[in-house]
């Protein structure tokens, strides 16, 4: 009976060793602090206790931390093994060095210790190379240039600092001793360049505590430089604070290795869009300083060359940035303009109208919704080309009747919308009469006289509503009333809502549904386009109505919002989504779950705390949840949006913009808000196979997202053609979501789909 008990104990010990032990942090930190205190107090010269004892421990313990981290990952992460080998080589060399001091007044140079010391550099550089190698493919060229600017600039400055060391060896006869002496500063040069290049990169994932790695290796290199300069001037004495630089550098690097292999915390990126620009800016300034210095004093040609290279790469980066900004400006105009008429489109209306309504909240505004009568007959009898000409002509005549500040947009098909500032009900009706009269005169199209008429629905702010959605809905009701009565135009009245009684009954049923758990959540996978693997799903609410069956969101969400029930519904959906995430995590299949958030829910001040409490109660990491917001929310109150989203992101919750490209088209929020992902609206994806302009917009938007270090998800992938284009045309889209892969299904059905699915690479398509 002893064997099973022993097996259990070993498994428990192994589990502690792999994930739960916190000893590396406090033991390494305490040793480093004790060593620094000892160096400051015992005076110059070798101390068996401080230099021989504490100094040795402060280098062997980091080595042990690294090997434990390697074991935790079953030695499958090459960068961890290489980093462990680098720290071990340095610790072993220092052990030999300390032991040799006891029996000799001086040590040979080069000697056995130099082998271990020098091995640290190529092994650590190889570890950094292995860390970033898998990620280089997804890095944008602009990020590579930022890293190059930082690396070259740092190398130029360091070359100036170590110039005396290099110059002293340059005059020495060529020998092994000279080669080894030069190797140290050159390796420091490479190490600092690599570390600063990593710090400048926006997109690299370096693991938890990545700042410790950067600081640690910079401290290590700084200790090397100070040591070399003191040796050059014959002022180096063992047992000073300089000796602590190597121990501190190794300790910080080891703590990074330990953190990067822990499974309970998501890896972090090497920089954000704001902070990552600091390093290239400082590097460019430093390069200019080196060149100015070279005009005053004698500076090594290597430093001048590196500074010049820094400025050349900076110029290339500036040119690329200018081209990207130009492309973004063109893209913004294209996404806001109707292709056929040249008028603002639906996106432009939803971008501009809310701000206008908010600015004019103390006065009347009018929204007119226009629909051409019998337009379908024109298309069917004369063809779509004539119909298009009619729309162009109608848009031109409508524009001529409006003031310069009025907003006219084509919504699609034969629908137009007009927002009139400083306009009450009487003036809106007068404008409607003018617009109808302007369209009465026949249009001559393809040699044929075509007469058009229009039905206009009118909603007034603030009487009928203060937000665009409400005004659009009521103007739409009024427009259909105008069609029914053939009156030409109609101003909304409360009794125009013919479904009022049914809506009231449905609202009561919704309240009952929230109390009796009638709402269910289905999940739709997001497929990684490089590997075919699913790491993320979107949670979508359904209403299991007792008599009407399963209802989709479009049949009840608007009523939920109007009835003030969105907060309760969001709480229910979040709870169910997080419950399922916990179930998947317990089953060994961790999936990030995305939940759609309405604007009314996001403005609640305690939202981050409430969501955080729900996540903690289920024992989940905050990164398991992604909140999807719409562009409309971002334009209603940008200050409040930034504040609430910043708090959510600071709590570790991921953020995505849903239906990107259909709402607020100003790209400023992409720069200012802490976003992780963009979801390209299905209207672009579904048409890109037949529309070259749509395909160009898809490609440009993906490039824009990647240049801002955002992940791009294509929605509405409904067939294999769209999927193949996204994979095979080199667009670089990260994930796809749509019916081609899977419809939204219950969790059990998704589990079966995932279990049965084998990722299949898609054959490349020739453009």
| Closest residue by Cα to residue 28 from 36, 39, 19, 18 | 36
pLDDT computed for residue 458 by the predictor: 94
Q: Which residues contact 354 (CB under 8 A, 6 or more apart)?
A: 467, 468, 632, 635, 636
pTM of the model: 0.49
pLDDT computed for residue 15 by the predictor: 45
Model confidence over 323-357: pLDDT tens digits? 777 777 677 777 788 888 889 998 889 888 888 88
* pLDDT-wise least confident of 148-152, 241-245, 660-664: 660-664
pLDDT computed for residue 155 by the predictor: 77
* pLDDT-wise least confident of 12-26, 183-197, 701-715: 12-26
* pLDDT-wise least confident of 107-121, 154-168, 710-724: 154-168
Give me the half-sphere count of Cα atoms (radius 13 Å) on the Cβ side of residue 436.
21
Tally: H helices and E strands in the chain: 28, 16
C-alpha separations of 708 from 22, 202, 513, 611 in Å:
36, 8, 42, 27
pLDDT computed for residue 598 by the predictor: 83
When pLDDT is averaged across residues 505-510 and rounded to a whole number, the result is 84
pLDDT computed for residue 764 by the predictor: 43
pLDDT computed for residue 639 by the predictor: 67
Model confidence over 630-644: pLDDT tens digits? 876 665 555 667 788
pLDDT over threshold 80, residue 145: no
**Whole-number mean pLDDT of the chain?**
81
- Strands 365-372 and 415-421 turn out to be antiparallel
Q: Which residue has the higher pLDDT, 179 or 750?
A: 750
End-to-end CA distance of the chain: 68
pLDDT computed for residue 348 by the predictor: 87
| Closest residue by Cα to residue 523 from 745, 716, 717 | 745
C-alpha separations of 79 from 123, 190, 202 in Å:
9, 17, 20
When pLDDT is averaged across residues 132-149 and rounded to a whole number, the result is 71
Model confidence over 425-481: pLDDT tens digits? 999 999 999 999 998 888 888 777 777 889 999 999 989 888 898 899 899 888 888
Structural domain 346-498, CATH architecture: 2-Layer Sandwich (3.30)
Q: DSSP string of 479-512?
A: HHHHHHHT-SEEE--GGG-TTHHHHHHHHHHHHH
When pLDDT is averaged across residues 549-565 and rounded to a whole number, the result is 82
pLDDT over threshold 70, residue 717: yes
pLDDT over threshold 60, residue 491: yes
pLDDT over threshold 70, residue 12: no
When pLDDT is averaged across residues 697-720 and rounded to a whole number, the result is 88
When pLDDT is averaged across residues 496-520 and rounded to a whole number, the result is 79
Rounded distance between C-alpha atoms, residue 248 and residue 708, angstroms: 34
Cβ(280)–Cβ(53) below 8 Å: no
pLDDT computed for residue 94 by the predictor: 86
Cβ(267)–Cβ(260) below 8 Å: yes
pLDDT computed for residue 625 by the predictor: 96
Tokens of 39: 């160096």
When pLDDT is averaged across residues 291-295 and rounded to a whole number, the result is 82
pLDDT over threshold 50, residue 20: no
Residue 363, phi then psi, degrees to nearest 5: -145, 170
pLDDT computed for residue 366 by the predictor: 94
pLDDT range class, residue 673, cuts 50, 70, 90: confident
Model confidence over 61-81: pLDDT tens digits? 899 999 998 998 889 889 999
Model confidence over 523-547: pLDDT tens digits? 999 999 988 899 999 999 999 999 9
pLDDT range class, residue 747, cuts 50, 70, 90: very high
Cβ(191)–Cβ(198) below 8 Å: no
Rounded distance between C-alpha atoms, residue 482 and residue 475, angstroms: 10
Decide which of 3.40.50.920, 3.20.20.450, 3.40.50.720, 1.25.40.10 is the CATH code for 525-542+566-756: 3.20.20.450
pLDDT computed for residue 503 by the predictor: 64
Q: Which residues contact 585 (CB under 8 A, 6 or more apart)?
A: 620, 624
When pLDDT is averaged across residues 137-146 and rounded to a whole number, the result is 68
Radius of gyration of the chain (CA): 33
Kind and range of the H or E element at 629? strand 625-630
Q: Where are the alpha helices (DSSP H) in 43-77?
A: 55-72
Q: DSSP string of 664-705?
A: ---THHHHHS---EEEE-HHHHTTTTT-HHHHHHHHHHHHHH
Model confidence over 588-617: pLDDT tens digits? 999 999 999 987 777 777 889 999 999 999
| Closest residue by Cα to residue 226 from 211, 240, 214 | 240
Three-point CA angle 279, 284, 289, nearest 5°: 125
């Amino acid at each position: 009976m002893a064997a099973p008990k022993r097996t259990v104990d070993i498994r428990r010990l192994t589990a502690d060793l792999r994930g739960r032990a916190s000893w590396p942090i406090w033991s390494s930190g305490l040793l480093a602090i004790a060593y620094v205190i000892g160096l400051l107090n015992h005076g110059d010269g070798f101390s068996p206790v401080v230099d021989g004892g504490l100094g040795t421990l402060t280098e062997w313990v980091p080595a042990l931390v690294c090997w434990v981290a390697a074991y935790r990952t079953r030695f499958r992460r090459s960068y961890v093994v290489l980093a462990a080998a680098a720290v071990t080589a340095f610790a072993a060399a220092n052990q030999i060095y300390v032991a040799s001091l006891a029996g000799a007044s001086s040590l040979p140079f080069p000697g056995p210790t130099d082998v271990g010391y020098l091995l640290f550099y190529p092994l650590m550089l190889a570890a950094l190379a292995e860390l970033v190698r898998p990620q280089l493919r997804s890095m944008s060229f602009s990020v590579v240039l930022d890293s190059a600017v930082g690396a070259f600039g740092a190398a130029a400055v360091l070359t100036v600092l170590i110039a005396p060391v290099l110059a002293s060896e340059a005059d020495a006869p060529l020998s092994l001793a000279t080669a080894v002496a030069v190797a140290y500063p050159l390796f420091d040069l490479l190490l600092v360049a690599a570390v600063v290049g990593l710090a400048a990169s926006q997109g690299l994932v370096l693991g938890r505590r990545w700042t410790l790695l950067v600081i640690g290796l910079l401290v290590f290199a700084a200790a090397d430089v100070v040591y070399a300069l003191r040796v050059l001037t014959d002022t180096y004495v063992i047992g000073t604070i300089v000796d602590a630089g190597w121990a501190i550098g190794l300790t910080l690097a080891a703590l990074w290795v330990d953190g990067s292999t822990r499974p309970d915390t998501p890896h972090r990126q090497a920089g954000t869009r704001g902070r990552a620009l600091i390093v290239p800016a400082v590097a460019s300034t430093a390069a200019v300083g080196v060149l100015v210095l070279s005009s005053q004093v004698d500076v090594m040609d290597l430093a001048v060359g590196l500074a010049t290279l820094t400025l050349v790469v900076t110029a290339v980066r500036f040119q690329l940035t200018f081209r990207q900004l130009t492309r973004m400006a063109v893209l913004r105009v294209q996404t806001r303009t109707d292709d056929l008429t040249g008028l603002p489109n639906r996106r432009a209306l939803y971008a501009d109208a809310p701000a206008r309504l908010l600015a004019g909240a103390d006065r009347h505004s009018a929204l007119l919704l226009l629909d051409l009568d019998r337009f379908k007959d024109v298309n069917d009898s004369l063809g779509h080309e004539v119909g298009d000409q009619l729309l162009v002509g109608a848009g031109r005549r409508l524009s001529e009747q409006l003031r310069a500040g009025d907003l006219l947009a084509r919504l699609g098909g034969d629908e137009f919308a007009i927002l009139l500032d400083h306009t009450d009900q009487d003036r809106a009706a007068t404008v409607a009469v003018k617009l109808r009269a302007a369209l009465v005169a026949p249009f001559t199209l393809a040699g044929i006289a075509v007469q058009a008429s229009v039905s206009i629905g009118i909603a007034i702010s603030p009487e009928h509503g203060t937000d665009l959605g409400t005004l659009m809905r009521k103007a739409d009701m009024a427009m259909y009333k105008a069609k029914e009565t053939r009156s030409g135009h109609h101003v909304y009245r409360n009794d125009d809502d013919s479904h009022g009684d049914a809506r009231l009954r449905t609202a009561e049923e919704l309240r009952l549904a929230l109390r009796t758990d009638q709402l269910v959540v289905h999940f739709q996978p997001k497929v990684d386009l490089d590997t075919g693997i699913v790491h993320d799903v979107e949670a979508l609410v359904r209403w299991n109505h007792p008599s009407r069956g399963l209802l989709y969101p479009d049949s009840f969400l608007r009523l939920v919002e109007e009835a003030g029930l969105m907060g309760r519904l969001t709480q229910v959906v979040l709870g169910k989504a997080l419950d399922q995430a916990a179930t998947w995590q317990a089953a060994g299949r961790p999936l990030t779950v995305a939940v759609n958030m309405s604007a009314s829910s996001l403005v609640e001040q305690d939202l981050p705390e409430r969501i955080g409490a729900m996540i903690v109660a289920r024992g989940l990491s905050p990164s398991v949840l992604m909140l999807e917001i719409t562009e409309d929310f971002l334009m209603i109150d940008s200050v409040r949006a930034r504040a609430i989203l910043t708090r959510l992101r600071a709590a570790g919750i991921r953020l995505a913009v849903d239906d990107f490209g259909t709402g607020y088209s100003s790209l400023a929020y992409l720069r200012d808000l802490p976003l992780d992902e963009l979801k390209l609206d299905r209207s672009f994806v579904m048409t890109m196979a037949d529309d070259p302009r749509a395909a160009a917009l898809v490609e440009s938007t993906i490039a824009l997202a990647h240049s801002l270090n955002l992940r791009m998800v294509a929605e509405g992938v409904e067939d294999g053609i769209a999927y193949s284009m996204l994979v095979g045309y080199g667009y670089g889209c990260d994930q796809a979501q749509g019916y081609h892969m899977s419809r939204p299904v219950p969790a059990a059905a998704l589990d079966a789909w995932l279990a049965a699915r084998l990722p299949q690479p898609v054959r490349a398509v020739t453009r």
